[in-house]
Structure 1
Amino acid sequence: MNTYLISYDMAGGGDYDALHEAIKAYGHWAHITESLFAVKSSLSAKEIRDDIWQYLPSGSRLIIVKSGTESAWSNVICTNEWLKKNL
């Protein structure tokens, strides 16, 4: 399984709860910043994008990135341990 970063800018009128529940449905996830999640999945970035996109209203932005080999962070919402283990 790979770790993917999901970043979005939701256009007005969107349902954050529905979007967040869809992301959390991947099972192994972390809420990193207000509009950035990480998930573990065997799906491709395109498949995750296609799944998540339906929860965003027209005019929104979405990017899915497969986690790389180096990362750094400060003052995130999730635990440092999750990021150390999974990014």
Structure 2
Amino acid sequence: MNSPGQDYDSLFEAIKGLGTWWHHLDSTWIVKTTKTAVEVRDTLKGHIDSNDELLVVVLTGEGARAGLNDRGSKWLRDNL
């Protein structure tokens, strides 16, 4: 049995249901969606426990990366 705050299956499924997603970094997800940041937060907040934190931001403009494998770099290039 998972400890409180450690069962993320429903959260992960909710994130995947938002649109095209990328989960290359441990606890970081990037989702390409037509929903607003508030809509995404409202969709996901019911899937986290009181000891979890959730930050939803809109990614726009310039970005830079280092050390990502080819698959991760391609996803970012194709979707951002």
TM-score bucket of the superposed structures, by smaller chain = 0.7 to 0.9
| 1:3-14 alignment runs, 5 A limit | 13-14=4-5
Larger radius of gyration: 2
Residue 76 (structure 2) pairs with residue 83 (structure 1):
yes
Distance of 1:76 and 1:66 partners within structure 2: 21
- Count of residues in correspondence between the two structures: 76
TM-score, normalised with respect to structure 2: 0.80
2:25 corresponding residue in structure 1: 33
Structure 2: state its 5+ residue gaps. Answer: none
Q: Could you tell me how far 1:76 is from its partner in structure 2?
A: 4.3
Which structure 1 residue ranges, 4+ long, deviate > 4 Å from structure 2? Answer: none
**Share of identical aligned residues, percent?**
37
Distance of 2:10 and 2:68 partners within structure 1: 22
Considering fraction of residues, name the structure with more helix.
2
TM-score, normalised with respect to structure 1: 0.75
Higher relative contact order (CA 8 A, sep 6+): 1
Distance of 1:53 and 1:19 partners within structure 2: 9
